[in-house]
A and B are shown apart, each in its own frame.
Chain A
Amino acid sequence: MLVEVVFITQILLVKGTLFESSNKTHISYSFYIENISHLYFKLDFNPKTLEDKQKAKTMIYDCLLKYSNLAEEETWEKYFPLKNLLTLSVDDPKNFRGAAHRQPTDEALLIAYENSSAGFLDGEMINGYWKITISVHSIVTDSCDYELQIWTEG
Chain B
Amino acid sequence: MKWVTAELHTHTCASDGNFTFEELVQSAKAEDLDVIAITDHNTIHPATHIRKLEKKYNIDIIAGMEWTTFYGHLVILNLHSYIDWRTIGPSQFDVTDIKKSDAILGIAHPFRVGSPIATGCHWEYEVSDWNDIDYFEVWSNVNPNINAANKKAFKFWLDKLNTTKLTAVYGRDWHRPIPADKIVAKNYIGVIGDNMKSGVIDAIKAGRVVVSLAPLIEFTLFDNDHVVNIGEDYFTSNCIVNFKCVITQLNNIPSSLVIKSNLGPIHFANISQDSIIVSNISITSVKWIIAVIEQNTEMVAFTNPIFIRQKE
Q: Do A and B bind each other?
A: yes
Binding site for B on A (CB under 8 A): 23-24, 26, 59-60, 63-64, 66-68, 70, 72, 79, 82, 85, 87, 89, 95-96, 98-103, 118-122, 133, 135, 137-138, 140
Q: Is the CB of B117 within 8 A of A99?
A: no
Enumerate chain A residues within 8 angstroms of B41, measured Cβ to Cβ: 87, 99, 101
Q: Is the CB of A99 within 8 A of B43?
A: yes
Interface of chain B: mostly helix, strand, loop or mixed: loop
Enumerate chain B residues within 8 angstroms of A120, measured Cβ to Cβ: 43
Q: Quick check: is B40 within 8 A (CB to CB) of the other chain?
A: yes
A118 with B14, Cβ < 8 A, contacts A101-B40, A101-B43, A137-B70 known: yes
Per-residue 0/1 for B17-37: is the Cβ within 8 Å of any A Cβ (1 yes, 0 no)? 000100000000000000000
Smallest CB-CB separation from A137: which chain B residue? B119
19 residue pairs of the A-B complex, CB under 8 angstroms, read: A63-B114, A63-B115, A67-B117, A67-B122, A68-B111, A68-B148, A70-B149, A85-B119, A89-B86, A96-B82, A102-B15, A103-B16, A119-B15, A119-B40, A121-B43, A121-B46, A122-B46, A133-B86, A138-B116
Q: Is the CB of A102 within 8 A of B86?
A: no
Q: Is the CB of A98 within 8 A of B115?
A: no
Q: Is the CB of B42 within 8 A of A68?
A: no
Q: Quick check: is B95 within 8 A (CB to CB) of the other chain?
A: no
Q: How far is the CA of A119 from the CA of B21 in the complex (A)?
A: 11
Smallest CB-CB separation from B68: which chain A residue? A101
A137 with B15, Cβ < 8 A, contacts A64-B113, A68-B149, A87-B42 known: no
Enumerate chain B residues within 8 angstroms of A133, measured Cβ to Cβ: 86
Q: Quick check: is B13 within 8 A (CB to CB) of the other chain?
A: yes
Q: Is the CB of A101 within 8 A of B86?
A: no
Enumerate chain B residues within 8 angstroms of A135, measured Cβ to Cβ: 86
Enumerate chain A residues within 8 angstroms of B42, measured Cβ to Cβ: 87, 89, 99, 101
Q: Is the CB of A70 within 8 A of B12?
A: no
Per-residue 0/1 for B37-67: is the Cβ within 8 Å of any A Cβ (1 yes, 0 no)? 0001111101000000000000000000000
Q: Is the CB of B70 within 8 A of A24?
A: yes
Q: Is the CB of A98 within 8 A of B114?
A: no
Q: How far is the CA of A26 from the CA of B42 in the complex (A)?
A: 14
Interface size on B, residues (CB 8 A): 29
Binding site for A on B (CB under 8 A): 12-16, 20, 40-44, 46, 68, 70, 82, 84, 86, 111-117, 119-120, 122, 148-149
Q: How far is the CA of A136 from the CA of B94 in the complex (A)?
A: 22
Smallest CB-CB separation from B148: which chain A residue? A70
Q: How far is the CA of A96 from the CA of B42 in the complex (A)?
A: 10
Enumerate chain B residues within 8 angstroms of A67, measured Cβ to Cβ: 111-114, 117, 122
Enumerate chain B residues within 8 angstroms of A119, measured Cβ to Cβ: 13-15, 40, 43
A63 with B117, Cβ < 8 A, contacts A89-B86, A99-B15 known: yes
Enumerate chain B residues within 8 angstroms of A140, measured Cβ to Cβ: 116
Q: How far is the CA of A129 from the CA of B13 in the complex (A)?
A: 28
Q: How far is the CA of A82 from the CA of B117 in the complex (A)?
A: 6
Given contacts A59-B116, A118-B12, A138-B116, 6 further A-B contacts (CB under 8 A): A87-B41, A98-B14, A101-B41, A119-B13, A138-B119, A140-B116
Q: How far is the CB of A39 from chain B (nearest CB, A)?
A: 16
Q: How far is the CB of B150 from chain A (nearest CB, A)?
A: 11
Enumerate chain B residues within 8 angstroms of A63, measured Cβ to Cβ: 113-117
Pick the 7 closest A-B CB pairs, nearest first.
A101-B41, A102-B16, A96-B82, A119-B14, A70-B148, A138-B119, A101-B15
Q: How far is the CA of A27 from the CA of B34 in the complex (A)?
A: 41
Q: How far is the CB of B217 from chain A (nearest CB, A)?
A: 28
Enumerate chain B residues within 8 angstroms of A26, measured Cβ to Cβ: 86
Enumerate chain A residues within 8 angstroms of B14, measured Cβ to Cβ: 98, 118-119
Smallest CB-CB separation from B112: which chain A residue? A67
Q: How far is the CB of A69 from chain B (nearest CB, A)?
A: 10
Q: How far is the CA of A135 from the CA of B114 in the complex (A)?
A: 17
Q: Is the CB of B117 within 8 A of A64?
A: yes
Q: How far is the CB of A19 from chain B (nearest CB, A)?
A: 14
Q: How far is the CB of B159 from chain A (nearest CB, A)?
A: 18
Q: How far is the CA of A120 from the CA of B15 in the complex (A)?
A: 10
Q: How far is the CA of A101 from the CA of B41 in the complex (A)?
A: 6
Q: How far is the CA of A23 from the CA of B117 in the complex (A)?
A: 14
Q: How far is the CB of B31 from chain A (nearest CB, A)?
A: 23
Q: How far is the CB of B312 from chain A (nearest CB, A)?
A: 43
